[in-house]
């Protein structure tokens, strides 16, 4: 292509961009006008509200962000393609049509757009030319063509892909829709029915894949998923705020995000378990203990039921009552549903007697009255008493006999003592970690985070929670079996995307084998798919962090970094804090974000020193902060990334927790361009 041709092409593409922007603006204006008149055209208040909500969402979905390009690629189909011969399509973040309804931009999730990500010289899928666009702050600046019909393919050598992954990072996570790679696209476009587990080294795009899969599924199954919902589960609030902008940028504004702690928050968490007690409470045996505890409340009828009904007296004998309880029990319903089933069956027996005597069907009012009659309720309270989730756990933790009966053969005597808070243990850091502080009632009890998981399990035994159509679980290696079960309860009829890296497991119960987690999640047959190309961490930094891998005792495929650039600087220093301040100052000379990562108990000292030196800092959960420097405790940095990372005293990070080496592996793999490791103490052995 000659220079003039290039110019003409660029000019034409810019004109197409302008036309697309104008068309999107008109689409939005039309939606806004409809929104404004919605209540006048709707027949009634309910329809008006529904319509209003729909239109408000539509208006939001059509928002145009001038800094993100509306399209990023183009497909020119060859003359012989059976469906699209001779046509060209621009591929972008959402459909844009002109006033006649002709497409100006195709949504990246549309079936045709798939070829943008998957066509290759070997399998061109009818595409003659694939064009990628380069943008700078929303302005179209360049393009790059691959003539697939002539066997040309750039793959990861694409200049535009390289520029995109090397672009300095600032603020929250961005979408990767313009540069999704074929192995990622395969996961993004997996069927809604398929649950998948992605094992990938740091920076291989697991989070990106999960978010894009959510957006893809919402596009394909909009109505169904809008009803059932899509949920993203992340490790902490800082992570959730870091990823929060990705789906809205893709036009998806209605996806729930939560930590597992949020999901199970039925009681306030106001106490901390000692590590051994927490580990035991997260053990899957606790599910069986709770199941037995619930089951133990179902009793045998000991007396017939007698109900006075005006001039009649009804009586149900022990045999039919036994049958009702046995049959209901065999149905395996959630406990509270079972209780109502027993009530309904008892009322059914009364109804049959009444019909036989009166030769007419009793009214609904009569049925309700019988259901609430004192002898019926008394019977229920005796054989199938009402339970509350926190009440159930409260009984177990306060009544050694009840615990001994239900935990018999499951938990040792020592373990039972631990649950009852009787085993004395060291209290780390001097903080109050005395475990659950039992009050006389469940309400007066100060529960721990692990108790909340158990209470949620109990709640699930009593009543099934509403489930989501699809759940994306990030950093899933840290889920305990009991947390997996909490997610399983919410995705029983839906599918899940599980994302994680066994090497980054830092929780005491971290997964060592994905099959186990998948079994606890109720999806034992889900495929485990590796991602192996790293887009974040430069090769030199990956090589340094990988020295830790043999010590992490996990079997994970090694990653290969796409990034040849980047620097690694490991230095012994005398004064850690002064060296950190100097390093941050030097880092500020470059573009991009700066993350200082240190053991949790030194973070305050570093923040103060930076403030004293006139360097303002942000906290990890404030992704929109104006400050370019963030000081992050090592335990909060999972899933995050910074352009320039300063790691302060690795030995202290390792010493702070039992799986400290895994934590250090997470910490060392946060850098996008440059990593400085400052240490005074010797480096942990595997790094030395
Ligand atoms: N196809 C891609 N094109 C451009 N950038 C990409 C691509 N895939 C991933 N990235 C970028 O690489 C970085 C790492 O991605 P992401 O956070 O999804 O990785 P991860 O596997 O979840 O990492 P971790 O295990 O550390 O949490 C992000 O900045 C992401 O935008």
The ipTM is 0.99
Structure tokens at 196: 């998948």
Nearest Cα to Cα of residue 622 among 635, 636, 608, 609 = 636
Residue 472 located in a structural domain: yes
Cα 263 to ligand 1 centroid, rounded to whole Å: 26
Query: How many Å apart are CA 482 and CA 368, to the nearest integer?
Result: 39
The atom number, within ligand 1, closest to the CA of 201 reads 25
Residue 292 located in a structural domain: no
Residue 498 located in a structural domain: yes
- The H or E element that residue 527 is part of is strand 527-531
Residue 61 confidence (pLDDT) above 70: no
Residue 65 confidence (pLDDT) above 70: no
Tell me the β-bridge partners of 77.
127
Judge if the beta carbon of residue 501 lies within 6 A of ligand 1: yes
Judge if the beta carbon of residue 234 lies within 6 A of ligand 1: no
The pLDDT assigned to 388 comes to 97
523 and 555 inside one domain:
no
Judge if the beta carbon of residue 175 lies within 6 A of ligand 1: no
Residue 64 confidence (pLDDT) above 90: no
543 and 575 inside one domain:
yes
Predicted confidence (pLDDT) per residue in 327-374, tens digit: 999 999 999 999 999 999 999 999 999 988 877 788 999 999 999 999
Nearest Cα to Cα of residue 446 among 458, 425, 432 = 432
- Taking a C-beta distance cutoff of 8 angstroms, is the pair 194, 658 a contact? no
- Taking a C-beta distance cutoff of 8 angstroms, is the pair 198, 529 a contact? yes
Nearest Cα to Cα of residue 381 among 350, 406, 348, 346 = 346
The atom number, within ligand 1, closest to the CA of 181 reads 1
What's the whole-number mean pLDDT along residues 385-410? 96
Domain boundary among 530, 554, 573: 530
Pocket test for ligand 1, best of 168, 174, 205, 620 (most atoms within 8 A of CB): 205
Neighbours of 604 (CB within 10 A): 12
Residue 63 confidence (pLDDT) above 80: no
Query: How many Å apart are CA 165 and CA 139, to the nearest integer?
Result: 18
Residue 684 located in a structural domain: no
Closest residue by Cα to atom 26, ligand 1, is: 202
Place of tokens 């539509």: 58
574 and 656 inside one domain:
yes
Q: What does the angle CA 484 – CA 283 – CA 505 come to, to the nearest 5 degrees?
A: 60
Judge if the beta carbon of residue 200 lies within 6 A of ligand 1: yes
What's the whole-number mean pLDDT along residues 200-209? 95
What share of the chain in percent tops pLDDT 90?
A: 73
Nearest Cα to Cα of residue 76 among 132, 20, 154, 34 = 132
Residue 160 located in a structural domain: yes
Judge if the beta carbon of residue 181 lies within 6 A of ligand 1: yes
Residue 459 located in a structural domain: yes
Cα 142 to ligand 1 centroid, rounded to whole Å: 24
517 and 575 inside one domain:
no
The atom number, within ligand 1, closest to the CA of 535 reads 12
φ/ψ (deg, to 5) at 529: -115, 130
The pLDDT assigned to 546 comes to 93
The pLDDT assigned to 365 comes to 93
SS3 category, 360: coil
148 and 53 inside one domain:
yes
Query: DSSP class of residue 361?
Result: P
Residue 2 confidence (pLDDT) above 70: no
The atom number, within ligand 1, closest to the CA of 531 reads 21
**83 half-sphere exposure, CB direction, 13 A CA radius:** 6
217 and 101 inside one domain:
no
Cα 479 to ligand 1 centroid, rounded to whole Å: 21
Predicted confidence (pLDDT) per residue in 622-632, tens digit: 878 889 999 99
Predicted confidence (pLDDT) per residue in 451-498, tens digit: 999 999 999 999 999 899 999 999 999 999 999 999 999 999 999 999
Pocket test for ligand 1, best of 165, 239, 243, 597 (most atoms within 8 A of CB): 165
Judge if the beta carbon of residue 641 lies within 6 A of ligand 1: yes
379 and 401 inside one domain:
no
The atom number, within ligand 1, closest to the CA of 211 reads 18
φ/ψ (deg, to 5) at 308: -85, 135
Query: DSSP class of residue 24?
Result: H
Residue 432 confidence (pLDDT) above 70: no
Predicted confidence (pLDDT) per residue in 546-565, tens digit: 999 999 999 898 778 888 88
- Interhelix angle 45-61/3-41, rounded to 10 degrees, is 170
Q: Does 202 show up as a binding residue in the annotation?
A: yes
Q: How far is CA 346 from the centre of its chain?
A: 44
- Taking a C-beta distance cutoff of 8 angstroms, is the pair 467, 256 a contact? no
Q: Does 82 show up as a binding residue in the annotation?
A: no
The atom number, within ligand 1, closest to the CA of 638 reads 27
273 and 356 inside one domain:
no
Q: Which residues of 347-363 are buried (b: 16+ CB within 10 A; e: fewer)?
A: bebbbebbeeeeeeebe
DSSP string, 428-496: GGG------B--SSSTT-BEEHHHHHHHHHHHHHHSPPPPPSEEEESSGGG--HHHHHHHHHTSTTSEE
Cα 109 to ligand 1 centroid, rounded to whole Å: 19
Helix, strand and coil content of the chain, in percent to the nearest 5, comes to: 45, 20, 35
The pLDDT assigned to 55 comes to 61
Predicted confidence (pLDDT) per residue in 494-510, tens digit: 999 999 999 999 999 99
Closest residue by Cα to atom 27, ligand 1, is: 639
Query: DSSP class of residue 602?
Result: G
Confidence of residue 172 (pLDDT cuts 50, 70, 90): confident
Domain boundary among 110, 142, 167: 167
Closest residue by Cα to atom 8, ligand 1, is: 205
Predicted confidence (pLDDT) per residue in 580-616, tens digit: 999 999 999 998 999 999 999 999 999 999 999 999 9
Judge if the beta carbon of residue 416 lies within 6 A of ligand 1: no
Cα 497 to ligand 1 centroid, rounded to whole Å: 16
The pLDDT assigned to 84 comes to 87
Cα 207 to ligand 1 centroid, rounded to whole Å: 7
425 and 489 inside one domain:
yes
- The whole domain housing 434 covers 174-283+393-530
- Taking a C-beta distance cutoff of 8 angstroms, is the pair 411, 313 a contact? no
Residue 278 located in a structural domain: yes
φ/ψ (deg, to 5) at 569: -140, 110
Pick the more confident residue, 660 or 423: 660
Range in 69-78, 161-170, 340-349 with the lowest mean pLDDT: 161-170
Closest residue by Cα to atom 29, ligand 1, is: 536
Range in 38-47, 88-97, 311-320, 446-455 with the lowest mean pLDDT: 38-47
570 and 667 inside one domain:
yes
180 and 116 inside one domain:
no
Structure tokens at 265: 């928050």
CA dihedral sign of residues 61, 63, 65, 68: positive
Neighbours of 218 (CB within 10 A): 23
Pocket test for ligand 1, best of 134, 198, 207, 499 (most atoms within 8 A of CB): 207
Pocket test for ligand 1, best of 116, 166, 176, 202 (most atoms within 8 A of CB): 176
- Interhelix angle 364-372/335-358, rounded to 10 degrees, is 120
φ/ψ (deg, to 5) at 239: -65, -45
Pick the more confident residue, 579 or 173: 579
DSSP string, 174-230: ---TTS--HHHHHHHT--TT--EEEEE-TTSSHHHHHHHHHHHHHHHTHHHHHHH-E
Q: Does 204 show up as a binding residue in the annotation?
A: yes
The pLDDT assigned to 671 comes to 95
Domain boundary among 167, 192, 216: 167
> Residue 275's domain is classified under what CATH number?
3.40.50.300
Neighbours of 176 (CB within 10 A): 21
Cα 407 to ligand 1 centroid, rounded to whole Å: 44
The backbone region for 416, taken as left when phi is positive above 0, alpha when psi lies in -120 to 50, beta otherwise, is: alpha
The pLDDT assigned to 431 comes to 44
Judge if the beta carbon of residue 205 lies within 6 A of ligand 1: yes
**9 half-sphere exposure, CB direction, 13 A CA radius:** 15
Distances (CA, A) of 585 to 25, 590, 629: 43, 10, 10
Average pLDDT, the chain: 91
Structure tokens at 551: 């010590």
Q: How far is CA 503 from the centre of its chain?
A: 19
52 and 156 inside one domain:
yes
φ/ψ (deg, to 5) at 572: -85, 135
- Indicate the number of domains in the chain: 4
Closest residue by Cα to atom 5, ligand 1, is: 165
Distances (CA, A) of 566 to 44, 168, 530, 547: 61, 11, 25, 18
Query: How many Å apart are CA 106 and CA 500, to the nearest integer?
Result: 32
Closest residue by Cα to atom 1, ligand 1, is: 180
Q: What is the pTM of this model?
A: 0.90
Residue 238 located in a structural domain: yes
Predicted confidence (pLDDT) per residue in 267-293, tens digit: 999 999 999 999 999 999 999 999 999
Cα 208 to ligand 1 centroid, rounded to whole Å: 6
The pLDDT assigned to 674 comes to 95
φ/ψ (deg, to 5) at 360: -155, 155
Residue 649 confidence (pLDDT) above 70: yes
Closest residue by Cα to atom 14, ligand 1, is: 203
Confidence of residue 408 (pLDDT cuts 50, 70, 90): very high
Judge if the beta carbon of residue 538 lies within 6 A of ligand 1: no
């Amino acid at each position: 292509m000659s220079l003039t041709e290039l110019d003409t092409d660029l000019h034409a593409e810019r004109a197409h961009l302008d036309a697309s922007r104008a068309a999107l603006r008109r689409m939005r204006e039309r939606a806004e006008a409809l929104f404004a008149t919605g209540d006048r055209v709707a027949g009634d208040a309910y329809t008006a509200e529904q319509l209003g909500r729909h239109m408000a969402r539509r208006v939001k979905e059509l928002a145009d962000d001038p800094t993100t390009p509306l399209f990023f690629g183009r497909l020119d189909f060859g003359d012989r393609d059976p469906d699209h011969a001779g046509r060209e399509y621009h591929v972008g973040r959402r459909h844009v049509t002109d006033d006649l309804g002709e497409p100006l931009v195709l949504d990246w999730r549309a079936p045709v757009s798939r070829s943008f990500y998957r066509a290759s010289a070997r399998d061109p899928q009818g595409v003659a030319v694939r064009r990628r666009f380069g943008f700078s702050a929303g302005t179209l600046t360049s393009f790059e063509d691959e003539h697939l019909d002539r066997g040309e393919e750039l793959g990861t050598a694409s200049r535009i892909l390289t520029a995109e992954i090397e672009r300095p990072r600032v603020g929250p996570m961005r979408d990767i829709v313009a540069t999704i790679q074929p192995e990622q696209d395969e996961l993004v476009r997996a069927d809604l029915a398929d649950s998948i587990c992605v094992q990938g080294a740091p920076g291989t795009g697991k989070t990106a894949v999960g978010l894009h899969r959510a957006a893809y599924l919402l596009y394909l199954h909009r109505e169904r998923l809008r009803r059932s919902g899509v949920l993203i589960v992340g490790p902490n609030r800082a992570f959730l705020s870091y990823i929060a902008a990705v789906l809205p940028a893709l036009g998806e504004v209605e996806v729930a995000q939560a930590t597992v702690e949020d999901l199970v928050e039925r009681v306030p968490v106001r106490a901390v378990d000692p590590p051994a007690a927490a580990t035991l409470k997260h053990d899957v045996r606790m599910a069986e203990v709770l199941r037995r505890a619930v089951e133990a409340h179902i009793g045998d009828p000991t007396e017939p039921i007698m109900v006075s009904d005006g001039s009649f007296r009804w009586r149900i004998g022990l045999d039919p009552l036994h049958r009702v309880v046995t049959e209901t029990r065999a149905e395996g319903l959630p406990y509270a549903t079972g209780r109502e089933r027993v009530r309904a069956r008892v009322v059914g027996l009364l109804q049959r007697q009444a019909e036989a005597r009166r030769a007419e069907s009793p009214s609904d009012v009569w049925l309700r009255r019988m259901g609430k009659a004192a002898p019926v309720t008394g019977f229920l309270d005796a054989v199938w008493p009402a339970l509350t989730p926190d009440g159930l756990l409260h009984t177990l933790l306060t009544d050694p006999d009840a615990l001994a009966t239900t935990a018999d053969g499951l938990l040792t005597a020592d373990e039972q003592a631990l649950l009852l808070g009787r085993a004395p243990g060291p209290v780390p850091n001097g903080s109050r970690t005395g475990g659950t502080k039992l009050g006389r009632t469940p309400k007066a009890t100060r529960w721990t985070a692990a108790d909340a998981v158990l209470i949620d399990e109990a709640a699930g035994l009593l009543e099934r929670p509403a489930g989501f159509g699809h759940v994306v679980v990030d950093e899933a290696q840290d889920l305990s079996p009991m947390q997996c079960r909490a997610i399983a309860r919410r995705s029983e009829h839906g599918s899940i995307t599980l994302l994680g890296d066994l090497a980054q497991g830092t929780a005491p119960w971290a997964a060592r084998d994905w099959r186990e987690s998948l079994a606890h999640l109720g999806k034992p047959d889900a495929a485990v798919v590796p991602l192996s190309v790293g887009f974040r961490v430069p090769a030199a930094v990956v090589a340094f962090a990988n020295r830790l891998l043999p010590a992490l005792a996990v079997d994970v495929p090694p990653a290969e970094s796409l990034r040849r650039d980047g620097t690694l600087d490991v230095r012994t220093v005398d004064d850690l804090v002064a060296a950190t301040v100097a390093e941050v100052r030097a880092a500020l000379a470059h573009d991009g974000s700066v993350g200082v990562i240190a053991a949790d108990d030194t973070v305050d000292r570093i923040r103060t020193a930076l403030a004293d030196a006139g360097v303002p800092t942000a906290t990890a959960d404030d992704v929109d902060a104006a400050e370019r420097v963030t000081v992050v405790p090592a335990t909060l940095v999972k899933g995050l990334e910074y352009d320039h990372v300063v790691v302060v005293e690795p030995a202290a990070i390792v010493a702070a927790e039992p799986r400290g080496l895994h934590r250090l592996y997470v910490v060392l793999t946060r850098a996008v361009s440059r990593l400085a490791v400052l240490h005074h103490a010797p480096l942990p052995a595997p790094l030395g």
